[in-house]
Every structure is written in C-alpha cells, then in structure tokens.
Structure 1
Amino acid sequence: MKEDESDGRSIKSNETLFAIVESLRESEGAGVTELADRLGLAKSTVHKHLVSLERHGYVVNEDGHYRLGLQFFNVGVSVRNQFEVYHAAKERINQLAFDVDETVWLIVPENGMGMFIYGVPRSESFSFDSTIGNWVPLHANSAGKAILAHLPERKVLETIDRHGLPARTENTITDRDALFEELERVRERGYAVNYQEDLRGLHALATPVIRDGRPIAAVAIAGAANRLTEERIQAELSEPLLEAVDDIELRLVYG
C-alpha cells in the first residue's frame, strides 16, 4: 500500500472520530444506529470508534446509549492549567467581580476565536456554567475587539478571512472598514465596549492582557444593558478594569 493512501485512510478515520464526538456533544448522547444514520456511516464503523473511545474513557456506554465521558473534562482542565494567564488572573478577577458587583470573564484567543476559560458570575447572571468553554467570534464582543485591536493588521485580516464577520445581533459589526474604525477607537480609549453586539440585552467592556507586546487574553465586565450603561462604564467600571489588568500583567512578569 502506498504511503499517501495509508495517510489518507488515517485522516478519514480521524475525521470520522471527530464527527462522532461532535455529534454526541450536540445531541447529549445517542445510540449506534442513530449516530450512523445522522452521519451517513456504517453502524460497524461507528461502533468501532465508540468502543475505542470508551476504552480510553472519552465516552460512556449506558445500555447502548453513548454519551461523552469525563475524560474530556479532565483534558480540558489540564489544558486550562497550562495557561499562565489563567493562574495570574484568577485571584484578581475574583476581586474585580466583588468590587464592581458584575460578572467578570477571562477570554483567551486561539485560532482566530475566543474562549471563556474563567469567570465569576453576578447572582442573577445569564447561564454561567454553559458559557465557560464556549467559543465566540472576536469581532462581536468586547473581549474579542480588545484582542483584535492589539494584533497586527495582517492577523486581523487573516481572522476575518477565516471566520468572516457573522451577525450575532442587529448591532454586530459586519463591515470590515467599520471594524477597523472601531478597533482604532478601542486603542484610543484603552478598552473595548459591546452594546448588545453579541447578545441582546447585554453590555460589556473589556481590555486586553498584553505580554511581550501581544494580546494573550482579555478581561471583560459584562451585565444587563440597563445596569451597564455607557455613563456607568465610563465613570465607574473602566478604571477598575484597567487597574485589574495592570495587576495581572505585573503578575505575569514577576510571578
């Protein structure tokens, strides 16, 4: 067998494996027949992959109904612990959330998207547990815009080319020129704002965590639009946010 043919089969098998995992995640579990029908695969192929995943703890078989296993959580926690910014920011984010009495997030960019890796909720916050681990497009929220504003223009263009500028709400910036104008305002202001661009009824502000001249994360304060007004953001929230991020950057340098 030619090497490229072997590689092709291996890649196809990997793609099938990932498709099964994603399908289980979206449906919160399924049987072999259901998965095979949904993915257009042979039941024997699906079963073979599920057995392998179960052997390694990545799926659990409950009387023929498969769901994702806690091994994924174990891996996710390990990945998060590899980020120095998580350890440097955690305590300071806790303090900031207490001081401003609003939800505070730590968002990290990767492959042109942003992920919520830590946060402290306000008591009546939106679905908090379902937000940790979520991906968000960088152009549609304050943390993402704070990060984009401190990337080289070519990196911003690469992100746009890769992910586009999809509308999350009617307020989302979907025009390239308008986005670059907004990023310039972010740099001038020192922080980014989000006025119902990602979720209706939600306002936020964020500033990037800079290390060695590049944005490695962003800290965002988010809350109901009727509380996080433009006036309150400017008068009460922007300064505590900037001070918190200054502290985080110092901890990254001095430990």
Structure 2
Amino acid sequence: MTSTVPVKAAKVTLEIVDTLRQLNGAGVSEIAQQLDKPTSTVYDHLQTLEREEYLVKEGDKYYISTRFLQLGNQARSRKKVFEISRPEVDELAEKTGEHANLMIEEHGLGVFLYKARGSDAVQLDTHAGMRVPLQTTALGKTIMAFRSRSEVEGVLDQHGLPKVTENTISDPDELFNRLDQIRERGYAYDDEERVNGMRCVAAPITNDDGRAIAAVSISGPKSRMQEERFTNEIPERILRCANVIEVNLTYS
C-alpha cells in the first residue's frame, strides 16, 4: 500500500538542509532556533549528514557539501532540453554581452537550469538550481503564458503572487491580462520585476502541442536595455534562439 504520509525524520533532514542553504552555513543552536526543533534532534541529523558527506563542518558551523553538486548535475543532465539549449544560450551571452538564461518549471516554481554570462554582464544572484516565483521573471511569465489556464491557477493556489519589487505582478487579473499579451506577442518582458535596475526578454521553448517546456532569456541593466535594443533586437535574438532549440529537440 502506498502511503502519502510524510516520513517525519526525512522531512526534518530536508528542512535542515534547506535552512543551511538559506543561511549559507549555521551552527546547531541557530538551526534549532530557526526550525523550532530540539537542539539534540538537530545535532543528530547534522551528524548523520556530515558522516554521509552531505555536509562539511568548519569550526562550529555546518555547510552544504559539494556532494550536492553531483546530485544536481545528474538531475540536470536528465533534462534533454538542457543539453540541447546550452550551446545556444552560450551563443546568446557571447553575442549580446549580457546574461543568457534557461529556465524550466518544477513544482510550480521557475528553476534556473543554466546561465551563461557575457563579457559585459553585471553581477546577479541567479545560479543553476535557483528557484523563483514564476510571475517575477520574463522566463516564468512566458512559461505560464504557454500553459493552460488551469495549470496557471494551480500555481497561484500553491504559491500565490509574492511581490519582490514595486513592479512585480501581484494581482491575478493583471497577470492573466499580461499572459494574453505574451501569447499574442510570442515573448515576455521583465521590467525590474524581480531585480531593481534589471530588464529581461524571454521566449518559450514549446513542444509539438504548443506547451512551454522551458524558456530562454537575455537580461541586462536597464541602462543598456533601452529603445530599439529592448523592443526589437533582443526579442528577435531570443525568438531565433528558441526556434533553433525547438527544432533540435524535435529531430534529436
């Protein structure tokens, strides 16, 4: 018989790992306080994770180990879209000098699968594996635009519409109006909706049914993403890139 009841010990272990990720390392007491768990319980979990080489200890603090890189790389390599998109994303970054990104949707969140950095790209917090609310990025919005309304409503029920900057969409009616525009246009804009001072253009990578399985984008500082470049040059590059990836996915 299949059980849907979470295993408590496994759940605590995962909560500890996620807390360490958020805090970028922490001691036993800090984690216990953060999770409202007994110090002895947290300590036992930390010891087990360290013994199995999923954590490293430096002084009094524990950190996530590089063993998670192996798991992440294996998960990413299972995504056919990653292998096919990577050279195209690299080319986008090289030709524009900006950040080029590949995103998928997983559990109702946008997951950065790959990022290439051009010669002029500014420092950003994005990295492979980073998860963000879909509506906060051009990538996420273009994925939602090429999904069914019921799927999008499911995402809203699960995660809501958290506001990250003043420009983040936080109203469902506004979101669905914006998704209609994206479908008609074929690509999405992000105008300082996740990071102040940054703009982004994204296009969907769709399957034979027209459903978005991923999205690609170019992001850069607002000062360089202006006028003709923002409204024509970058969108044209993004659409060409998405089309090449779709063709390669179909015939690979």
Label 1:182 to 1:245 Cα distance change in 2 as closer, same or farther (>3 A): same
| Structure 1 gaps, min length 5 | none
Equivalent position to 1:69, from 45, 65, 68: 65
C-alpha displacement at 1:26, in angstroms? 2.2
- 2:184 paired residue number: 188
Once the two structures are overlaid, the 10-residue window that deviates more, 45-54 or 84-93, is 45-54
C-alpha displacement at 1:124, in angstroms? 4.2
C-alpha displacement at 1:129, in angstroms? 6.5
Is this contact kept in 1: 2:98–2:218, CA < 8 A? yes
Q: Work out the CA distance in 1 between the residues paired with 2:25 and 2:95.
A: 41
SS of the residue 2:147 aligns to: coil
C-alpha displacement at 1:40, in angstroms? 2.9
Work out the percentage of aligned pairs sharing the same amino acid: 37
C-alpha displacement at 1:130, in angstroms? 4.8
Label 1:32 to 1:172 Cα distance change in 2 as closer, same or farther (>3 A): closer
| Structure 2 gaps, min length 5 | none
- 1:144 paired residue number: 140
Label 1:48 to 1:124 Cα distance change in 2 as closer, same or farther (>3 A): same
Q: TM-score, normalised by structure 1?
A: 0.90
Equivalent position to 1:154, from 144, 150, 154: 150
Q: Counterparts in 2 of 1:46-85, with a 5 A limit?
A: 46-85=42-81
Label 1:38 to 1:242 Cα distance change in 2 as closer, same or farther (>3 A): closer
Is this contact kept in 1: 2:161–2:171, CA < 8 A? yes
Q: Counterparts in 2 of 1:38-187, with a 5 A limit?
A: 38-128=34-124, 130-187=126-183
Q: Work out the CA distance in 2 between the residues paired with 1:38 and 1:193.
A: 37
Q: Work out the CA distance in 2 between the residues paired with 1:140 and 1:33.
A: 34
C-alpha displacement at 1:33, in angstroms? 3.4
**AA aligned opposite 1:207:** A
SS of the residue 1:218 aligns to: strand
Q: Work out the CA distance in 2 between the residues paired with 1:161 and 1:129.
A: 27
Q: Work out the CA distance in 1 between the residues paired with 2:125 and 2:108.
A: 23
C-alpha displacement at 1:218, in angstroms? 0.3
Count of matched residue pairs: 249
Q: Work out the CA distance in 2 between the residues paired with 1:57 and 1:28.
A: 17
Q: Counterparts in 2 of 1:18-37, with a 5 A limit?
A: 18-37=14-33
- 2:202 paired residue number: 206
**AA aligned opposite 1:217:** A
Q: TM-score, normalised by structure 2?
A: 0.91
Structure with bigger gyration radius: 1
Q: Counterparts in 2 of 1:229-240, with a 5 A limit?
A: 229-240=226-237
